[in-house]
């Protein structure tokens, strides 16, 4: 439904109500900026007056503004309100010859979780591996490839997963499928499950909207599971045919799936023939706790294990992998298509990177660097922000900073004023999840480069209550 924004006469295509309203408003505003309907520098109405205009809650508008400030489309300054960011870059030409769509300008300090320190990508080692891989590759490796991915990479991954620090993944190269990111893997699995007659895949109350969308776009329902102080509770899976879990390190809350719940969910899968989709997005980064074993090791017939190069190397590689139960392997490969969709050269390079030991060396060095950052974050916030309670820091590249009740939105806003982009916890809450009243921000401490880290940390501390 299109609602007109009276003050500026811009049509916003919004769902009239319901749990998706905030995301709908964020998407509609982003689209208006991206396509130039809202010009750079335009001052947006206050959240109160836009809310009145649209007949929705003020907080919904305030949250949508905060999300877009964090993404770099809008700026918020005390005294001058919320404006369309001047720096949104217009690409020189579009296919029609006119100015192309805008892209957001980058915030000064980016603490949004998801991206590792891209300045630390091991360029020299990667180039060496690429050279070795290309020299060794037979000509036919450059042809249309097996949809499962290059055999060299699947063999290297099986070896890596078998030796990865006590994770216990059981992988056979024939059951590994290379894909272009975990998001792509979920889309393929969604298609296969839907074709098998599954209607529902339960997901966690907190997670990535982009991942739930992969499943809903395949025609599946994605009801959220309850979340309590022991983490995600998968006790009641209703009529779900599958469940998506970040069991080693709940994203973004940071807890591992509770021991009793691990065995219970595997029992559920065995009893009902259900499937567990195990998103192991940052399994390489554990600091001061025992590695959490993969659920897949408990029952490879009922668990799909999903891993990615996005955290340990770079998301731009778009390389991830699934270890599939035997009963799903052929169908999922067929869902990918007749030929491989990932670059053979990148796959061969990653295979060489893994087998030569360069991957392990890079992960070891990265773990040390991120651990130092995590410790520095802890020390700085303990000293500078005593009202903030830091959780979820035993693993991964992000932390959850619990805030005094009712302050999440103002902290995200004040961070934006300091040029610090971060997301409030509500950004990751499933739209159908019951609100648990938690106020927090999620801080991805992997993203700033080493040279920008000290300044970024100072700015972050200034933004805290
Ligand atoms: C929970 C979660 N899963 C998976 C990924 C990686 O996804 P992809 O492999 O599509 O880059 C991320 C990256 O931020 C993540 O946060």
pTM for the predicted model, two decimal places = 0.84
210 CA closest ligand 1 atom index: 10
Q: Whose CA is nearest to atom 2 of ligand 1?
A: 281
Residues of the chain within CATH 1.10.10.10 domain(s) are: 3-106
Q: How far apart are CA 230 and CA 241, in angstroms?
A: 24
Q: Which of 284, 316, 283 is nearest to 121 (CA)?
A: 316
CA gyration radius for the chain? 23
Q: Whose CA is nearest to atom 16 of ligand 1?
A: 114
185 CA closest ligand 1 atom index: 10
115 CA closest ligand 1 atom index: 14
Phi, psi of 449 (to 5 degrees): -75, 165
- Ligand 1 interacting residues, C-beta cut-off 6 A: 114, 181-183, 208, 246, 251, 279, 281, 308, 310, 315, 320
Burial (0-12, 13-18, 19+ Cβ within 10 Å), 265: buried
Tens-place pLDDT, residues 177-186: 999 999 999 9
Task: Domain 122-356: give its CATH architecture.
Answer: 3-Layer(aba) Sandwich (3.40)
Q: Whose CA is nearest to atom 13 of ligand 1?
A: 114
Q: Which of 309, 317, 322, 311 is nearest to 342 (CA)?
A: 317
| 383 contacts 146 by C-beta, under 8 angstroms | no
Topology of domain 361-463 in CATH is 3.90.1150
Q: Which CATH number fits domain 3-106: 3.30.160.20, 1.10.10.10, 3.30.70.270, 3.50.50.60?
A: 1.10.10.10
State the distance from the centre of ligand 1 to the C-alpha of 8, rounded, in angstroms.
37
308 CA closest ligand 1 atom index: 9
Q: How far apart are CA 340 and CA 98, in angstroms?
A: 35
Q: Whose CA is nearest to atom 3 of ligand 1?
A: 281
Tens-place pLDDT, residues 39-71: 888 888 888 888 887 888 888 888 888 888 878
Q: Please state, in angstroms and as integers, the Cα–Cα distance from residue 392 to each residue in 254, 288, 348, following that order.
A: 4, 12, 35
Residues of the chain within CATH 3.90.1150.10 domain(s) are: 361-463
Instruction: Find tokens 């009793």 and name the residue.
Output: 260
Tens-place pLDDT, residues 178-225: 999 999 999 999 999 999 999 999 999 999 999 999 999 999 999 999
State the distance from the centre of ligand 1 to the C-alpha of 189, rounded, in angstroms.
15
In this prediction, what percent of the chain has a pLDDT beyond 70?
Answer: 91
């Amino acid at each position: 439904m299109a609602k007109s924004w009276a003050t500026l006469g811009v049509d916003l295509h919004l769902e009239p109500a319901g749990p998706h309203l905030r995301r709908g408003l964020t998407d509609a505003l982003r689209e208006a900026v991206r396509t130039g309907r809202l010009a750079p520098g335009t001052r947006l109405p206050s959240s109160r007056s836009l809310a009145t205009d649209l007949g929705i809650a003020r907080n919904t508008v305030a949250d949508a503004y905060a999300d877009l400030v964090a993404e770099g489309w809008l700026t918020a300054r005390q005294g001058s309100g919320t404006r369309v960011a001047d720096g949104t870059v217009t690409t020189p030409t579009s296919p029609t010859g006119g100015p192309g769509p805008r892209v957001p300008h980058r915030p000064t300090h980016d603490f949004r979780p998801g991206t590792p320190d891209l300045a630390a990508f091991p360029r020299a080692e990667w180039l060496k591996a690429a050279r070795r891989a290309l020299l060794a590759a037979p000509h036919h490796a450059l042809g249309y490839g097996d949809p499962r991915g290059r055999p060299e990479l699947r063999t290297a991954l099986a070896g890596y997963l078998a030796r990865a620090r006590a994770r216990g993944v059981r992988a056979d190269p024939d059951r590994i499928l290379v894909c272009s990111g975990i998001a792509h893997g979920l889309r393929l699995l969604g298609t296969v499950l839907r074709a098998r007659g599954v209607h529902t895949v339960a997901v966690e109350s907190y997670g990535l909207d982009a991942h739930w969308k992969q499943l809903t776009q395949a025609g599946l329902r994605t009801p959220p599971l309850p979340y309590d102080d022991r983490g995600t509770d998968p006790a009641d899976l209703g009529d779900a045919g599958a469940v998506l879990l970040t069991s080693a390190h709940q994203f973004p809350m940071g807890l591992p799936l509770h021991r009793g719940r691990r065995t219970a969910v595997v029992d559920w899968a065995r009893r009902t023939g259900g499937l567990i989709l195990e998103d192991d997005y940052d399994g390489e980064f554990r600091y001061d706790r025992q590695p959490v074993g993969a659920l897949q090791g408990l029952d490879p017939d009922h668990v799909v294990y999903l891993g990615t190069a996005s955290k340990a190397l770079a998301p731009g590689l778009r390389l991830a992998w699934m270890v599939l139960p035997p009963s799903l392997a052929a169908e999922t490969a067929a869902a990918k298509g007749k030929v491989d969709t990932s670059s053979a050269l990148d796959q061969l390079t990653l295979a060489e990177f893994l087998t030569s030991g360069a991957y392990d060396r890079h992960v070891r060095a990265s773990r040390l660097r991120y651990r130092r950052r995590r410790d520095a974050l802890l020390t700085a916030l303990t000293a500078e922000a005593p009202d903030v309670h830091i959780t979820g820091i035993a693993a991964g590249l992000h932390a959850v900073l619990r805030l005094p009740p009712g302050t999440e939105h103002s902290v995200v806003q004040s961070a934006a004023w300091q040029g610090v982009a971060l997301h409030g916890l509500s950004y990751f809450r499933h739209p159908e999840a019951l609100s648990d009243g938690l106020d927090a921000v999620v801080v991805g401490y992997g993203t700033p480069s080493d040279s920008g880290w000290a300044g970024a940390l100072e700015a972050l501390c200034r933004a805290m209550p």
